[in-house]
Amino acid sequence: MGGQDKKTEKEFYERLFRSRGRFDQFQRSIYERIAHEARTATGGSQALELGCGSGDQAVCLLEAGFSVVACDLSYQASRIAKQRVGESGLGPLLSMNADAEETPLADSSVDACVCGLLLHHFGSLDLIAKEIRRVLRPGGVVVAIDANAHNPFGWLFFNVIHRVRPLAGLTPNQRALWRGEIEREFGPQGFQDFRFESITSDLRRDWLGKGLGARLNFHTRALVLRMSQLVLPQICHGNMLLSVFRLQVDEL
């Protein structure tokens, strides 16, 4: 697979955040779950959020006791995230407009890296794995959530239909991820203790807009999710793949 079309990605999200302003991609319980996974996996206090979006995840990380650096390729997103945290009274939040594959952070400077709907925006995970390895301290944890390729409906939606006929509301880069790919790309960078879980994120009715096409899209996907939960194995039944893994501590 090729790399990320950053120009298209950036333009898509600049338009989205300018038109929609702040919006939630998940229900709050998902953000809280991700923050809890990060908090229980490290005793450190510095978290990096890559792909911060509107700032809802940053709020939950701050509530969990982290100091947070939030990055997004979209300037509008980084601005809205900073405003969101400011309104919560939890700050401060260091928010920056930065490329996740080439951040301005120092080596070994964070204890946890949270990637919410980020990894599946890259055609290859090689460069993002190297960058996360660079900024993470030994023993630090990565918590990521992405579209789940183990769910056959998710795989069909993202990796087949979207490739043949690009879908509105998605960037050309987006795809569903397999846990095997995450292990193959992050393992050689020194990551270990991989744990994966299929979870279901309830779809927000307003995510794609309020038109007829958006409503039909919502109801179709909601029906598919209900079917998945009834008939598929555990790793396949959710629309999201939660990944938790750790950077090994170098032995003396």
Q: What's the pLDDT at 201? A: 77
Other Cβ atoms less than 10 A from the Cβ of 30: the count is: 22
pLDDT in tens, 1-52: 557 889 999 999 999 999 888 877 788 999 999 999 999 999 999 999 999 9
Q: What's the pLDDT at 204? A: 57
Interior angle at CA 53, CA 64 and CA 196, nearest 5 = 60
pLDDT in tens, 226-247: 766 666 777 887 889 999 999 9
Q: What's the pLDDT at 252? A: 44
Query: CA quadruple 91, 96, 100, 106: dihedral positive or negative?
Result: negative
Residue 205 has pLDDT above 60, yes or no: no
**Topology of domain 6-247, CATH:** Rossmann fold (3.40.50)
Q: What's the pLDDT at 149? A: 96
pTM over 0.95: no
Mean pLDDT score, 54-79: 96
Top pLDDT among 239 and 214 is at: 239
Mean pLDDT score, 161-181: 91
Q: What's the pLDDT at 219? A: 66
pLDDT in tens, 85-123: 999 999 789 999 999 999 999 999 999 999 999 999 999
- Residue pair 93/72 in contact (Cβ under 8 Å)? The answer is no
- Residue pair 171/121 in contact (Cβ under 8 Å)? The answer is yes
Domain boundaries, the chain: 6-247
Q: What's the pLDDT at 145? A: 97
Q: What's the pLDDT at 92? A: 85
Other Cβ atoms less than 10 A from the Cβ of 107: the count is: 9
Q: What's the pLDDT at 190? A: 97
- Residue pair 83/63 in contact (Cβ under 8 Å)? The answer is no
